[in-house]
Amino acid sequence: MENIQNFQVLWFGLIFVLLLGYSLLDGFDLGLATLLPFIARKQEERDLLLGAIGPVWDGNEVWLITGGGALFAAFPHAYATAFSGFYTAMLLVLFALIFRAVAMEFRVLDKTRPGLWEKALTVGSALAALLFGVALGNVIYGVPLDERMEFTGHFFTLLRPVPLLFGMTGLAAVLLQGAAYAAMKTEGTLRERSLQILRVLAGLNAVTAITYFTVLAAVFPELPSHPLFYAAVLVTLLGLAGVFLALGGKRDSAPFWASSLSFTGLWLAAGAAQFPHLIRASNDPRWSLTIHKSSTGLLTLQVMSVIALVGMPIVIGYTLFVYRIFKGKTRPSDNY
C-alpha cells in the first residue's frame, strides 16, 4: 500500500510540473498575442512581435498535451470526471486554441485580411488563458459531484466568483509573461512600449495575487498553517518585486525570469491548497476525487514512471535546444 501511495504522490508532482511548465511557456505566447493591439501600432511591429513566438508557440503546447495524457493514464477517474463534467468549457478552450492556431497561419496566407486574423488570435489567446484559470479554480474550489463522482452542475456552475478570481489572476499573470517576453525579444520603441505595459501589469498582478492569496486562506482555513503556502506568497512577491527592479536594468531577460518566478508562486499556492485532491466535491467531501481514490493500478504507475524517466529529459532537452537556437532579439527577417 505504501508503495502505490509513493507513486501516486510522484505522479501528482509530475503533472503539477507539466502544467506549471505549460503555463510558463505557452503563457508568454498567449500573453503576447493578447497584448498585440496594445504593444504594436504598425503592421511591421505586429509582424515582429509574432515573429518572436512563431518558432516556439506550437512546441510549447507539448507540455499541455503531455500533462493531459499523464492525467488520463495516472488518474483516469479524475480525467473522466473533469472532461465529461467540463465538456462545454473544454470545447470553448479547444475552439479558442484552434482560433489561435488558424490565425497564426492565415494572417500570413490571407494577404487581404491580416487584421481579421490578428483579432482572432488576440481573442482566442485571451479566452484560452482566462478559461484555463477558471478550470483550475473549479477543481480546487470544488464542484458538485454525486456518489458516482460525476459532475452534477451545469456550465454556469463553473462561473462562480472564486473560480473567476482564479481565471482573472491567471490571465493577469499570463499578460505579465507576455509583456516581459516582448521586452526581452524586441528593441527600441517596441521594447520601451513593452516595458511601460509591463510596469502597469506588475501593479495589476500585485493586486490580483494578494486577493488570490487572501481568498485561498479564507476558503481553506487550514492553508495558512501550511509552510508551502508562505513559501508561495514569498516567491510571488519576490518575483513581482524583481519585475519592478528589473524595469530600469540593462538585462533584457531579467523581467521575464522575475515574472516566471511570480507565476510559479501562484502555482505553489494552488498545489498547497489542492494536495492530495484532484477534484473537490463542493457538496460532500466524501465524493471528492483524491490521488488515492482515482489512480490507476501500481503496475501502470510503475511502467509510466519508467517512461517518464526516459521521456521527460527528452522533452526538457528539446525545449532548451529550441530556445537556445532562437535566443536573442527578433529581427524583421524572422517574421512569422
Q: Which residues pair with 279 in a beta bridge?
A: 289
Domain chopping of the chain, boundaries: 2-334
What pLDDT, on a 0 to 100 scale, did the predictor assign at position 275? 93
Please give the Cα distance from 221 to 329 (Å, whole number). 46
Mean pLDDT along residues 10-35:
94
C-alpha grid cell, residue 134: 477558471
| Residues 6+ positions from 50 with CB-CB distance below 8 Å | 33, 36, 104, 107, 121, 335, 336
Q: Which residues pair with 221 in a beta bridge?
A: none
Please give the Cα distance from 216 to 229 (Å, whole number). 10
CB 205 within 8 A of CB 43: no
Question: What tens digit of pLDDT does each residue of 166-181 get?
Answer: 999 999 999 999 999 9
What pLDDT, on a 0 to 100 scale, did the predictor assign at position 251? 84
User: What is the band of 333 on the pLDDT scale with cuts at 50, 70, 90?
Assistant: low
Range name among 8-17, 215-224, 294-303, 325-334 with the lowest pLDDT average? 325-334
| Residues 6+ positions from 7 with CB-CB distance below 8 Å | 295, 298, 301, 302, 305
Please give the Cα distance from 295 to 154 (Å, whole number). 26
Residue 145: DSSP 8-state: B
For the question of whether the overall pTM of this predicted structure is more than 0.85, the answer is yes
CA angle (68 as vertex; 175, 287 as ends), nearest 5: 105
Of 128, 168, 32, 144, the closest CA to residue 85 belongs to 144
User: What is the band of 150 on the pLDDT scale with cuts at 50, 70, 90?
Assistant: confident
Question: What tens digit of pLDDT does each residue of 183-219 get?
Answer: 999 988 999 999 999 999 999 999 999 999 999 999 9
Secondary structure (DSSP) of 149-214: --B---GGGGG-HHHHHHHHHHHHHHHHHHHHHHHHH--HHHHHHHHHHHHHHHHHHHHHHHHHHH
| Residues 6+ positions from 276 with CB-CB distance below 8 Å | 8, 9, 12, 290, 291, 292
Mean pLDDT along residues 219-233:
92
Is residue 139 within a helix (H) or strand (E), and if so which, with residue range?
A: helix 114-141
User: What is the band of 131 on the pLDDT scale with cuts at 50, 70, 90?
Assistant: very high
What backbone phi and psi angles, to 5 degrees, belong to 289? -95, 115
Question: What tens digit of pLDDT does each residue of 68-80 get?
Answer: 889 999 999 999 8
pLDDT of residue 246 exceeding 60:
yes
Mean pLDDT along residues 140-161:
88
